[in-house]
Each structure stands twice: as structure tokens, then as C-alpha cells.
Amino acid sequence: MAIINNPKESTCRCFAVINHEQVLRTDGSALDFHDLTVLKDWCVSRNYVFDFFEEKQWNVCALGLSSKEGLPSAYTFDTIRHGFSIDSPEETLCLSRAKAIVAWRSMTHYCSACGGVLKDHLGQTARYCIECGQMFFPRIEPCIITIVSRKDGKILLAKHVNRSREMYACIAGFIEAGETAEQAVAREVMEETGYKVKNIRYYGSQSWPFPSQFMLGFTCEYDGGDMHLQEDELADAKWFERGECPITPPPGSIAYRLINNV
């Protein structure tokens, strides 16, 4: 699907994003095309770098911002993560798409094969090298996330070392080259906690564009072993009753659904 860099008008869902946040009107309502035009002009007036594109097939028009300083008073910032918890599935898809493509475009300027400059492809959501013709498509990084349960009904939750809050969540990690998703589940649980698991079953999936993860959710059961934490990944891990869990991920994520058995 082609990207239009400078749409003159649009009836698509409109987004302005920076890092993990999106711009909304101060009353919390979504942006329209006029808002994107105002924000683009604001970027120009302050010499801020920006990216502006439209994908009609995906019903997305997006502005990628490079700075938050001096945002016009008619607008405010909210986390994209919060949007996931309150938006409809259709709106979440478009927001995820906007965030992911903005992030990909911001990091994809030169050919990794020859170093040539990349330009937007006119027929697909892709960039191509003007020197060697190599094509580059948006990157998607497959990950697994799993809830481990025991016969007594308790579930395993872990506190990750890179979290600033006392939040416990599911075991998760990237799928390695050559692995199936189920093999990645068994490996990640073993590496991070020392536990073997069995009865690995697919649960569901979610786009997680921070910047480009695709989460494959699984359930599995404890199958032996003693806890041995991977200290560079986990600060703690414990078994909890489902109704007595500590602070866990809020609604809007597959982690929330796995933990709360939604």
C-alpha cells in the first residue's frame, strides 16, 4: 500500500505521535485532518523535524513529531498505552499502525546493503534504495508472552529489572531465529526462572508498537524445576492467587488479559 507524503485532504483517522505518546485535543477527543495541518504548521514555525503521511487502505493519516516543547494550547499529550485501554479495536489498530509506521520511518533512511539513500516506494508501504534497488518494509519483531500456572491454581508473575514501578507481569521475550513460538515460550521461562513448562497453548495476539513488537500470547503449566532467576532480566518472581496479585499491567494489553483470565 502506497504512502502519500503530503495529502491535501483526508477522511482517515488522524494521529500525531511522539515516542510513546499521542496528541489529543484538550477535551480528550481525537484529531482530524485540520488538527494535523495546525500541528504541522506549528512544527514548521519552530523548525521542528516532522514526518507527515497517509495510508488510505489502512484509514490512517499520521504526523510524527520530534519535540513536545511549546505544544499549542488547544492540544495535550496522552500515552498511547492509555489509548489502547479505552479505544475500540478498530481505533486501536489504526493507532498502532500510525505509531509503528512513524517509528519505522524515523529509523529507516539508508540502505543496509550499500549505504544509499532510501526513498518511499510509490506502490507499497516500503522504502527502496536509489543506488541498488533494495527494498525495505516495516519491521515486525515477533515476541511471546505467557502466563504459567500450577495445579493449585496459582500463576507465576515476575518483576522486571527495567521497570521503575513495583509491577509484576508475565514472562515474555523475543522469538529467536529458527524457533517456533512454543519453543520460545519454553526457553524464555527456563532462562528467566529455571522452570520447565508443559501444555503450551496459544491464547491470542496483540500489536505492541514500542517500537515494533508483535506479541503472541500463550498459557502453559509448571512442569518441574526450582526457581533460579536470570538476574539481568528479573528482579523477582513469585506465585500468586489470581485474586491476590500485586500491581499488574492495566487494561489494554494482552498481559492484562492473561493475568486476569479475560
Query: What is the average pLDDT across 4-25?
Result: 86
Whether the CB-CB separation of 23 and 79 falls below 8 Å is answered with no
Tens of pLDDT, residue by residue over 174-221, are 999 999 999 999 999 999 999 999 999 999 999 999 999 999 999 999
Using 50, 70 and 90 to split pLDDT, how confident is the model at 262?
Answer: low
Percent of the chain surpassing pLDDT 90: 89
% of the chain beyond a pLDDT of 70:
95
pLDDT in tens, 210-259: 999 999 999 999 999 999 999 999 999 999 998 888 999 999 999 999 99
**pLDDT above 60: residue 1:** no
Residues 104-162: tens digit of each pLDDT: 999 999 999 999 999 999 889 999 999 999 999 999 999 999 999 999 999 999 999 98
3: DSSP letter: P
* Cα–Cα distance list, 73 to 18, 44, 140 (Å): 17, 17, 35
Task: State yes or no: pLDDT of 163 exceeds 80.
Answer: no
Q: What is the mean pLDDT of residues 41-50?
A: 97
Q: Is 7 a residue whose pLDDT tops 90?
A: no
Q: What is the pLDDT of residue 11?
A: 77
Classify domain 141-259 at the CATH class level. alpha beta
Residue 104's pLDDT is what? 97
Contacts of 34 (CB under 8 A, 6+ apart): none
Tally the C-alpha atoms within 13 A of residue 182's C-alpha that lie toward its C-beta: 8
**114, containing H or E segment:** none
Tens-place pLDDT, residues 71-93: 999 999 999 999 999 999 999 99
Q: Domain boundaries in the chain?
A: 13-107, 141-259
- Residues 2-19, buried b or exposed e (16+ Cβ, 10 A)? bbeeebeebebbbbbbbb
Q: What is the pLDDT of residue 166?
A: 85
User: CB–CB of 179/198 below 8 Å?
Assistant: no
